[in-house]
């Protein structure tokens, strides 16, 4: 009896551990059927930290509720495809789209444009050392550089456009892919980029993102 309970517990652990996660493999090629290396894979608007290898192949875990797979290449631009729980997907860049490219070396954010009814790539640019030195704290930096965000004198942060029901709550903070309770420890000079997620984009984080999400990437 004890052995059966142990085996049942182990089986349930595997079930719950894998719940809501699908494994997607894919390939990205250009119009000459040549592999596109170093293309970034985005789950909706969230960068998965996965890039294609030299053969154009990638493998990524897909959490529940992801609706679109976006592939961004500096050379070719952005490709988007609806995700319907497939195990394999292929992406073909038909041509280098100048309108979708961003300056090499700049950070890129993927966001859904309601006016265009599609995902678009936006260049976030690079903050120079002199720009960063103008801010004493991370809160000063957010107040000065991030549109659509309000930072009070006591460092309370709210995101404009979030439902008034959640307005009193602070957004979720995600630093280098990890959820953190506060960002007091961050130094402006070490911050590479700051992104604001709300609505459908923030839903990736479930109820925790109901007041919006501030995603910060640091220089490593």
Q: Check if the beta carbon of residue 92 is closer than 8 Å to that of residue 30.
A: yes
pLDDT tens for each residue of 76-111:
889 999 999 999 999 998 866 554 455 554 567 788
pLDDT tens for each residue of 178-213:
999 999 999 888 888 888 888 878 888 888 888 889
Among residues 73, 66, 67, 85, the alpha carbon closest in space to that of 41 is found at: 73
Q: Where in the chain is the domain with CATH 2.60.40.1120?
A: 20-125
Residue 174 sits at φ, ψ, to 5 deg, of -125, 115
Whether pLDDT at 166 is above 50: no
pLDDT tens for each residue of 19-60:
456 899 999 999 888 999 999 999 988 889 999 999 999 999
Per-residue HEC secondary structure of 63-78 comes to CCCCCEEEEEECCCEE
CATH superfamily of the domain spanning 20-125:
Carboxypeptidase-like, regulatory domain (2.60.40.1120)
55-74 in b/e form (b: 16+ CB < 10 A) is: ebebebebeeebebbbbbbb
16 or 95: which leads in pLDDT: 95
Q: Where in the chain is the domain with CATH 2.170.130.10?
A: 129-218
Distances in Å between the Cα of 146 and the Cα atoms of 42, 89, 90, 123, 127 are 22, 35, 35, 14, 12
pTM above 0.75, yes or no: no
Q: Check if the beta carbon of residue 133 is closer than 8 Å to that of residue 191.
A: no
Model confidence at 17, pLDDT cuts 50, 70, 90, reads very low
CATH superfamily of the domain spanning 129-218:
TonB-dependent receptor, plug domain (2.170.130.10)
Reported as half-sphere exposure (CB side, CA atoms, 13 A), residue 56 has a value of 15
Measure CA 207 to chain center.
17
């Amino acid at each position: 009896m004890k052995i059966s309970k142990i085996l049942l517990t182990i089986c349930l652990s595997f079930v719950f551990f894998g719940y809501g996660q699908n494994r997607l493999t894919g390939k990205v090629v250009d119009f000459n059927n040549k592999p596109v290396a170093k293309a970034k894979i985005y789950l909706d608007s969230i960068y998965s930290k996965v890039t294609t290898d030299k053969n154009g192949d990638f493998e990524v875990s897909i959490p529940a509720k992801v609706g679109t797979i976006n592939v961004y290449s500096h050379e070719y631009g952005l490709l988007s495809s609806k995700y319907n729980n497939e195990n394999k997907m292929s992406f073909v860049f038909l041509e280098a789209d100048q309108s979708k490219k961003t300056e090499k070396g700049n950070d890129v954010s993927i966001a859904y444009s309601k006016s265009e009814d599609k995902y678009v790539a936006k260049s976030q640019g690079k903050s120079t050392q002199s720009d960063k030195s103008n801010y004493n704290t991370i809160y000063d930096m957010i107040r000065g550089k991030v549109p659509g965000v309000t930072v009070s004198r006591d460092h309370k942060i709210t995101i404009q456009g979030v439902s008034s029901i959640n307005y009193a709550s602070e957004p979720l903070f995600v630093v280098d892919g990890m959820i953190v309770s506060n960002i007091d420890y961050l130094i402006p000079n070490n911050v590479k980029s700051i992104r604001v997620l709300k609505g459908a984009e923030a839903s990736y984080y479930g109820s925790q993102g109901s007041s919006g999400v501030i995603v910060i990437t640091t220089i490593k």
